[in-house]
Amino acid sequence: MYEPARYPQHAVPQTRVAGEHAAFFRKVYAFMALGLTATALTAMLVASSEEAIRFIVLNRPVFYGLLIAEFAMVWAFTALVPKISAVAAGALFFTYAIMNGLTLAVIFLVYTSGSIASTFFVTAGTFGAMSAFGYATKRDLTGLGSFAMMGLFGLIIASVVNIFLGSPMIYWLTTFMGVIVFVALTAYDTQKIKQLNVGGYEGDEANHKGAIHGALILYLDFINLFLFLLRILGRRK
């Protein structure tokens, strides 16, 4: 994801390392918050326009084309980050966030605005607690990350199968499984991002790209956790 630390961290005073981690994560969370804001504003704008709803949400080729493009952009981002500038990485991240908002407009057609807002705050609290745990804990969360990744693959397979089966039981099993998976991934990804922070080079190109990449990872954890919690807490219209 990022360049490895360019000198051993034991050679750096721990107070300096802690300060650099804190500064780095302030940038990560700032980019993530801006991405979530761009997604939310885009979704609300689309949901407020009948023309946009007909063209994007109710037009299956466009809607599914956007979903495929979003998946492609996430994979492309990982491959391109080492080769592009921080400005280009930021532009790619915010383009993705806006595209995600186009497709997420559908939730405003299915759920009440009040339940969407309340679920967002529940998600923010849960995400914040798990990210803080991943940042602060001294325990190695690699095992938790491996468990979550295996659960994620199982979740994807079960969700695809249920497209054809339409089983309510599988729907709810995948819903609760999704919450568990993304709660675990939030803690694991936070620790991983912290460990891969480029120490000692605050403000340089690699540091900025690392912060943007970290923001994308946590943004995805947040959005997916929100969508699974919305299945449980959301009130349908």
Q: What angle do CA 115, 130, 155 make, to 5 degrees?
A: 70
Closest CA to 222 of 182, 165, 193: 182
The structure's pTM equals 0.90
The confidence score (pLDDT) of residue 66 equals: 95
Dig out the tokens for 144 from the structure.
């938790």
pLDDT lower than 70: segments of the chain? 1-17, 198-203
The pLDDT, as a whole number, for residue 200 is 46
Question: Which amino acid does the sequence have at 24?
Answer: F
Tokens of 168: 């309510």
| The predicted structure's pLDDT at residue 157 | 95
Beta bridge mates, 111: 236
Candidates 100, 89, 91, 101; CA nearest to 208 is 89
Contact 56/102 with Cβ under 8 angstroms? yes
- Number of Cβ within a 10 Å radius of residue 175: 17
What contacts 98, CB < 8 A, 6 or more positions away? 38, 39, 42
Compute the distance between CA of residue 219 and CA of residue 225 in angstroms, rounded to an integer.
10
Query: Residue 141: what residue type?
Result: L
Instruction: Give yes or no for a contact between 141 and 134, defined as CB atoms under 8 angstroms apart.
Output: yes
Question: What's residue 201's pLDDT?
Answer: 52
| 127 class by beta-carbon count within 10 Å (0-12 exposed, 13-18 middle, 19+ buried) | buried
- Using left for φ > 0, alpha for ψ between -120 and 50, and beta otherwise, residue 60 falls in alpha
The residue among 185, 212, 208, 190 whose CA lies nearest residue 198 is 208
Residue 42's CB is within 10 A of a number of other CB atoms, namely 20
Helix pair angle (86-104, 14-47), 10° resolution: 40
Grouping H, G, I as helix, E, B as strand and the rest as coil, residue 208 is helix
Task: Return the exposure string of 83-95: e unless at least 16 CB atoms fall within 10 Å of the residue's CB, then b.
Answer: eeebeebbebbbe
